[in-house]
Amino acid sequence: MIPTPISTATTDHYTWGGTCDGWHLVRGAGFSVIEERMPPDSREVRHWHARAVQFFYVLSGVLTMEIEGAVHELGTGSGIELPSGTAHQARNDSANDVRFLVISSPPHQGDRRDADPIF
């Protein structure tokens, strides 16, 4: 199979949290790559993954990550790796959209467990 370019215009799109967007850029057996967009004042449900290790990388904007009670603000060009079993919540506390990549190994679909909210 000859590889072809992938973009948000050519791949599967989904909406989550009512206002957020996701695009499946890579769906491999061993890893996945998703680009996500979160508008201002949006957040995901705090959760953790039993198997998946994840890396969040910010393409534009500021992504606020609560990780095991610690809050980190990630700006454009920065990221953070989360080992499996790490409770976390991504949110956009800014006035602008944030776009970021979520790279998971193995893919995180079906691996999510809700965690108690702390904020």
Cα distance between residue 23 and residue 8, in whole Å: 6
Q: Establish if 74 belongs to a structural domain.
A: yes
Q: Establish if 101 belongs to a structural domain.
A: yes
Question: 3-state SS of 32-58?
Answer: EEEEEEECCCEECCCEEECCCEEEEEE
Residue range(s) defining the domain that contains residue 98: 21-114
Q: Establish if 39 belongs to a structural domain.
A: yes
Cα distance between residue 18 and residue 41, in whole Å: 12
Q: Cα dihedral sign for 61, 64, 67, 72?
A: positive
Q: Establish if 9 belongs to a structural domain.
A: no
Q: Side-chain half-sphere of 2: how many Cα atoms within 13 Å?
A: 1
CATH number of the CATH domain containing 75? 2.60.120.10
Number of domains in the chain: 1
Q: Establish if 3 belongs to a structural domain.
A: no
User: Tens-of-pLDDT digits for all 119 residues of the chain?
Assistant: 899 999 999 999 999 999 999 999 999 889 999 999 999 999 999 999 999 999 999 999 999 999 999 999 999 999 999 999 999 999 999 999 999 999 999 987 788 898 987 76
Q: Establish if 30 belongs to a structural domain.
A: yes
Token readout for 114 is 């809700």
pTM score above 0.95: no
Task: Please say whether the beta carbons of 99 and 61 come within 8 A.
Answer: yes
Q: Establish if 5 belongs to a structural domain.
A: no
DSSP state of 44: P
Q: Establish if 15 belongs to a structural domain.
A: no
Token readout for 19 is 């206002």
